[in-house]
Structure 1
Amino acid sequence: MRMMKALVHEKAGRPNASIKMVPYPTCGDDEVIIKVMACGICKWAEISHDTVGGGGTLARYPVITGHEFSGIIEEVGRNVKDLKPGDRVTADNAIPCGYCWYCKNGKPLCCENFGSHGHNKNGGFAQYMSIIAKNVVKIPDNLSFDEATLAEPVACAVEALDRADVKPGEEVIVSGMGPHGIILAQLFHHSNAQRSVAIGLVESRLRKLESYGITTILAERNDCSVHEAQLEKMFPNGVDIIVDTSGSWPMVQSLMKFLRKGGRFIQYGSYHSQIHIENPAKFLNDLHYNNQQYVGVSCQVNNFPRAVEYMRTGKCKVDMLVTHTFDLDDYFLALDTNKTDKSTLKVVIHPNGKPEG
């Protein structure tokens, strides 16, 4: 029996995870097998899998984790016509069921039986993986395998862009310049927006965005008055759209002051601790009387082709995002580095050794 190396979680928690030899996947008639060249660590998801009692609502164990992957097609099923061995690809990890109420009513993002490689289907922290061919997207020569792992976060950002529904002439604030914020800042910069600004805490990241033509504001972690003073000068009448990736409630409360009547607030960051709303009635009444929308966005379906096109054309540059790479054998060191090293943006695993492209 052909075997391969993989990171397997028997259940949530590091004591229940190991890198071991497992059977090589089978290739169904409508599937392909990908030789995984790179798989990114999604910090939130992998820490959740790494935590006893964690895993999140999508997780089903045992499972091979990793949902941000790229590689080379190794095999194709007999019904697959438009892909061939040797193609450089990434693939959409999301697989809605197609038969629940939400899927039947055109809302697959809310699927009640949501399938996801790396959560409840085997993912990319393995030398090989199988996936349905319709989810596979070829990657252009100007994207490396490491960069192509960012297709999943870019696809999620495309969902936020769609939900924001930017009208010509509108103005936008994007806050929190981690990987997702850096991606979102670029997408909104190239949208219908008349003007957008990126707010973050790390000056080097903001300088890079400025080299792309994006206006930035350097914030202070514990002093919202710093960015508020700059925003008041830039947007004396407020903005139409605010996108927050920071997961910081003080930042959200600060930014909400600048949301115009009829504006949209996109919550893209998640909260991992208790938050305190000083006056919940006022917060909700402000939304109500100002005709504002508070919109949550957390994932995507079917956005991979657009994500890859954004990267191919340079409208979303991801070369700055991959800061650290590790072999699969060093996965736990990689995850700990992602947790503790503040210089990390995106950490990528190489299941088959460092790729040439």
Structure 2
Amino acid sequence: MKALVIEKPGQAVIRDVPYPKPGRGEVTIQVKQVGICGTDVHIYKGEFLSPYPIIPGHEFSGIIHEIGEDVPEFSVGDRVAADPSLFCGKCSYCLTNRGNHCENWGALGNTVNGSMAEYVKVPYENLVRMPDDMSYEEGAFIEPLACVVYAMYRLQMKVGDQVLLFGAGAMGQQLIQSMKAAGASTLAVIDLSEEKLRLAKEWGATHTFTNDELDQVRHLQPRGFDIVVDATGIPTVIEEAITFTGPVGKYLQFGVTPADASIKMNPFDLYHKDWTLLGTMAINHTFIPAFNWLKEKRIQVQPLISKTISLEDTVSFLEGPRDPDLLKVQIKL
């Protein structure tokens, strides 16, 4: 079968690889649609946790092509999406609802071969059957939305919270919709792209600013915001973003940075302002809630697809450069 393989950092190729035959409790999915995540770019650059060579891709949907032994409930031809998480289910973290920190943590496209291929095999327990009115494009959004749902769990927002978000890409736009639904009052968004800021306003941002307008942001909330979220993963942006956190405020690191990145912050501010610093690692048993949210049209994702490309075109996309106005780019197989 045809697949995109990252052979080593900075080197991706299209080549034939063995078909992934399902084992006991597994199904093989014929992949229809794959979302390209910022993490995939980090893997390409050698900035993540992944081994090499690896087939990336963890946001996907498709059709069940083959079923292994002991797989109930599903049939060949079912339209499905799959949680890429590979938790052991037995360690102390898994048994205390912290599966994203499983001692044997794995994920399709991150630690084992993923979905940027004609076929991918997954444990049947990870599957959800897509309703007829859910497109393959939407199905490939369940995983990124599950990351947003986990972020919302971590934030524990209160109605009326004043929120500042750095980064209005595809993930930022889903965060905007989610935080509006959770009851944010002020919802200010900062980005380089005027087009992304325009869309942010449509989804519920109350104020939008470019990076050159940070003084106006400070004027909007002189003592800082109840919640500050970074969805850029850029260390210089993160250093600045933290300083906008107000007294007893929460700062959430949502964007993925390079693994060796570092920032500076003032520990006196952390002490004096009673800050809470939060991380949000991938998804944590949030795939089903995200699926339900998407199924009921609570979050709109179809407008976030900037373009669809072929598997072959993905090699040059990973190499860059990329248009700053792009939101989600998906691969159609």
Alignment of 1:134-213 (within 5 A): 134-213=125-204
Alpha carbons of 1:130 and 1:257: their partners in 2 closer, same or farther (altered >3 Å)?
closer
Structure 1: distance between partners of 2:218 and 2:135: 37
Alpha carbons of 1:195 and 1:178: their partners in 2 closer, same or farther (altered >3 Å)?
same
Deviation at 1:251, TM superposition (A): 4.0
Letter of the aligned partner of 1:315 in structure 2?
R
Structure 2: distance between partners of 1:217 and 1:149: 28
Give the one of 258, 267, 285 matched to 1:284.
267
Structure 2: distance between partners of 1:13 and 1:60: 10
Q: What is aligned with 1:246?
A: 232
Structure 2: distance between partners of 1:256 and 1:117: 32
Cα deviation per residue 1:317-339 (whole Å; 9 max; x = unaligned)?
Answer: 112222122222333123235x3
Give the one of 39, 47, 50 matched to 2:44.
50
- Structure 2 portions without partners, runs of 5+: none
Q: What is aligned with 2:329?
A: 347
CA contact (8 A) 2:13 2:315 kept: no
Cα deviation per residue 1:234-272 (whole Å; 9 max; x = unaligned)?
Answer: x45542211111234554454444423221100112444
Alpha carbons of 1:126 and 1:254: their partners in 2 closer, same or farther (altered >3 Å)?
closer
Structure 2: distance between partners of 1:335 and 1:142: 31
Structure 2: distance between partners of 1:293 and 1:268: 14
CA contact (8 A) 1:72 1:89 kept: yes
Structure 2: distance between partners of 1:299 and 1:243: 15
Deviation at 1:202, TM superposition (A): 1.6
Structure 1: distance between partners of 2:280 and 2:67: 34
CA contact (8 A) 1:217 1:227 kept: no
Deviation at 1:161, TM superposition (A): 0.7
Structure 2: distance between partners of 1:145 and 1:293: 38
Structure 1: distance between partners of 2:184 and 2:69: 46
TM-score of the aligned structures, taking structure 1 as reference length:
0.84
- SS across alignment from 1:64: coil
Cα deviation per residue 1:128-166 (whole Å; 9 max; x = unaligned)?
Answer: 111001111222334321232222211111111110011
Give the one of 270, 275, 289 matched to 1:306.
289
Q: What is aligned with 1:7?
A: 4
Q: Which moved further from structure 2: 118-127 or 142-151? A: 142-151
Q: What is aligned with 1:355?
A: none
Alpha carbons of 1:257 and 1:113: their partners in 2 closer, same or farther (altered >3 Å)?
same
Structure 1: distance between partners of 2:163 and 2:47: 34
Structure 1: distance between partners of 2:83 and 2:60: 9
Structure 2: distance between partners of 1:285 and 1:92: 41
CA contact (8 A) 2:150 2:286 kept: yes
Q: What is aligned with 1:21?
A: 16
- Structure 1 portions without partners, runs of 5+: 352-357
Cα deviation per residue 1:66-113 (whole Å; 9 max; x = unaligned)?
Answer: 111111112233422222222221111111122334224432111222
Deviation at 1:214, TM superposition (A): 3.0
Cα deviation per residue 1:171-200 (whole Å; 9 max; x = unaligned)?
Answer: 222221112111111111111434423222
Give the total of aligned pairs.
332
Give the one of 93, 97, 101 matched to 1:102.
93
Alignment of 1:22-101 (within 5 A): 22-43=17-38, 45-51=39-45, 54=46, 56-57=48-49, 59-101=50-92
Structure 1: distance between partners of 2:270 and 2:133: 44
Alpha carbons of 1:231 and 1:147: their partners in 2 closer, same or farther (altered >3 Å)?
farther
Structure 2: distance between partners of 1:39 and 1:143: 15
- SS across alignment from 2:302: coil
Q: Which moved further from structure 2: 118-127 or 242-251? A: 242-251
